[in-house]
A and B are shown apart, each in its own frame.
Chain A
């Protein structure tokens, strides 16, 4: 069942691309290149790759094989409850932040397109706050987490069906400097 849902999502994304409405944000995990976590003020520039003898250093935050590359918590319709299946993702990031004491994150809440824009902006904020709350309970200090919301303004999937909407009801974790 889950596989089928995933397939539908992929198909919807492909359809969205094929229709030339290439408006979508790249998925969060793909956006940044090998940028080490940095202090606030550094913008995530693609020129900040660190060359080594072999080429580019693998970054645990963005390496697709690293659990830290998973950045999105997805929500049910009209809900800001962090579902059990995302507990390990949130825990992984909380542990990383416990290790890297200078790391800071920004959690961006998002909604699907249904409903009123301004109310969705507030709902997105509540989703971001819900993820933040889990992380503070796990020991990350309040001041290292900034929350914001894009409401329904930055969908990653552009369809007008549940497969797309499910992709857009999410909170994204972004590290300072990305």
Chain B
């Protein structure tokens, strides 16, 4: 078991100049690829160290171990300057070198190369011409390339997350980079905000607002900042879930009595009832192919997860262990769902493999909630209660790697991991 801490100055001004984000990573078992990431030539004079961000991104996955690069002099910046024997002696299996040079109009060129040390072979070489303010985003793109080249899976370092921060009576809906940096408030309210859900292209968020003294579903365009109330029927309106084609939202409404699942156009309009039970039906989630909706229902006595056709119809129960299995979220490949399971009074995130029915408990908290898969399916982001406060946490799909992102300020609730960037 290895464990280490990254202490990072939080850039988000909204959290105050002294606020810090602590990322605590725990890994147990599994091999870590030793990778040497050298400081890039010219990056010391830039506002942002690219190599540090790349290293932090890769280390956070628990799949890599950063090899010490100190004492190597001069640091290589070109392939001809790499002494593979030296790096092999440091047990590095992969090596990253690079440089940053000014080009025209205040922009800089960032070039990086990735090598297989044992084979003394170049695996990737890219260059980016960007404004200095883009260096952090560029570092995430470099980490994405390295991650994909070495693991075969898409990296998610350039994605966004959203979550609700509660401080006193003030609620803020924030959007941040996947590493918690660049947090921006997209909505503030004196009333609760719940259940943010990303549109499939990441341009909009649907969420539950209590500004009207009752829950209504709102869709907000992130670039324009415009909002539209899309579900404000009699009673409660909540639990929005986007269809993969973004044309519809599945929502939970109480307009006909108890909470049931309905489908509405994502721009608002009439509600079409999808479930007909005498219990609570809520927390819908579309499968990635849009054919199926998973949801929570207590029609059988205890809350369990069911599935039905996306247009409604007969539902089948899919969870059978225990008396509390709620809040399903599909993996991007549609092969498994993450959900909240209660066991002996503790609420934890579990995953269900749909083909086999096998359930694996992924977390060890007492009050974990709100799981959502990273768009590459490798991690599950969730809310963990630590010392009485909500915090962000993430766990790998096999439960071996755990991250906890601890913010100094407020309760952090209801996270949701955004989609892959579209560009």
A interface residues, Cβ below 8 angstroms from B = 21-23, 113-119, 121-123, 125-126, 129, 146-151, 153-154, 160
Residue of A nearest to B212 (CB): A148
13 interchain pairs (CB within 8 A)? A22-B168, A113-B367, A113-B385, A115-B342, A116-B340, A116-B347, A117-B194, A122-B258, A122-B282, A125-B258, A126-B280, A153-B192, A160-B385
Q: B135 to nearest A CB, angstroms?
A: 37
Q: A105 to nearest B CB, angstroms?
A: 14
Set A116, A122, A123: member contacting B370, Cβ < 8 A? A116
0/1 per residue, B351-373, Cβ < 8 Å to A? 00000000000000001011000
List the B side residues contacting A113 at CB < 8 Å. Answer: 367, 385
State the CA gap A160–B347 with chains docked (Å). 14
List the B side residues contacting A116 at CB < 8 Å. Answer: 283, 296, 326-327, 340, 347, 369-370
Set A118, A129, A150, A160: member contacting B210, Cβ < 8 A? A150
A125 and B347 contacting across the interface, CB-CB below 8 Å = no
B327 and A119 contacting across the interface, CB-CB below 8 Å = yes
List the A side residues contacting B327 at CB < 8 Å. Answer: 116, 118-119
State the CA gap A177–B72 with chains docked (Å). 74
List the A side residues contacting B342 at CB < 8 Å. Answer: 115
List the A side residues contacting B57 at CB < 8 Å. Answer: none
Interface SS of chain A: helix, strand, loop or mixed? mixed
Set A22, A146, A153: member contacting B194, Cβ < 8 A? A153
Q: A162 to nearest B CB, angstroms?
A: 11
Set A129, A148, A160: member contacting B215, Cβ < 8 A? A148
B238 within 8 A of A: yes
B215 and A117 contacting across the interface, CB-CB below 8 Å = no
Instruction: Say whether, besides A125-B235, A125-B254, A126-B280, A115 and B347 are in contact (CB < 8 Å).
Output: yes
Which of chain B's residues 259-314 have a Cβ closer than 8 Å to chain A?
259, 280, 282-283, 296, 303
List the B side residues contacting A151 at CB < 8 Å. Answer: 194
* Chain B residues bordering chain A, tally (CB within 8 A): 36
Q: Count the A-B residue pairs with Cβ separation under 8 angstroms: how many?
A: 89
Q: A175 to nearest B CB, angstroms?
A: 14
State the CA gap A146–B213 with chains docked (Å). 12
Residue of B nearest to A123 (CB): B280
List the A side residues contacting B324 at CB < 8 Å. Answer: 115
B257 and A121 contacting across the interface, CB-CB below 8 Å = no
Q: A54 to nearest B CB, angstroms?
A: 34
State the CA gap A125–B369 with chains docked (Å). 20
Residue of A nearest to B414 (CB): A117
B239 within 8 A of A: yes
State the CA gap A116–B327 with chains docked (Å). 7
Instruction: Say whether, besides A22-B168, A23-B169, A115-B342, A121 and B347 are in contact (CB < 8 Å).
Output: no
List the A side residues contacting B215 at CB < 8 Å. Answer: 121, 148-149
Instruction: Say whether, besides A125-B235, A149-B215, A119 and B168 are in contact (CB < 8 Å).
Output: no
State the CA gap A158–B259 with chains docked (Å). 27
State the CA gap A151–B239 with chains docked (Å). 12
List the B side residues contacting A117 at CB < 8 Å. Answer: 194-195, 369-370, 413-414
List the B side residues contacting A23 at CB < 8 Å. Answer: 168-169
State the CA gap A122–B369 with chains docked (Å). 16
B236 and A125 contacting across the interface, CB-CB below 8 Å = yes
Q: A45 to nearest B CB, angstroms?
A: 15
Residue of B nearest to A158 (CB): B388
B141 within 8 A of A: no
List the A side residues contacting B296 at CB < 8 Å. Answer: 116, 118-119
B388 and A160 contacting across the interface, CB-CB below 8 Å = yes
A118 and B252 contacting across the interface, CB-CB below 8 Å = yes
B192 and A150 contacting across the interface, CB-CB below 8 Å = yes
Residue of A nearest to B323 (CB): A78
Residue of B nearest to A121 (CB): B238
Q: A103 to nearest B CB, angstroms?
A: 18
B154 within 8 A of A: no
Most B C-beta atoms less than 10 A away, residue of A21, A114, A123: A114
State the CA gap A123–B282 with chains docked (Å). 10
Q: B189 to nearest A CB, angstroms?
A: 11
* New A-B pairs, 8, CB < 8 Å, besides A121-B282, A148-B236: A114-B347, A115-B340, A116-B347, A119-B326, A121-B215, A125-B254, A147-B254, A148-B214
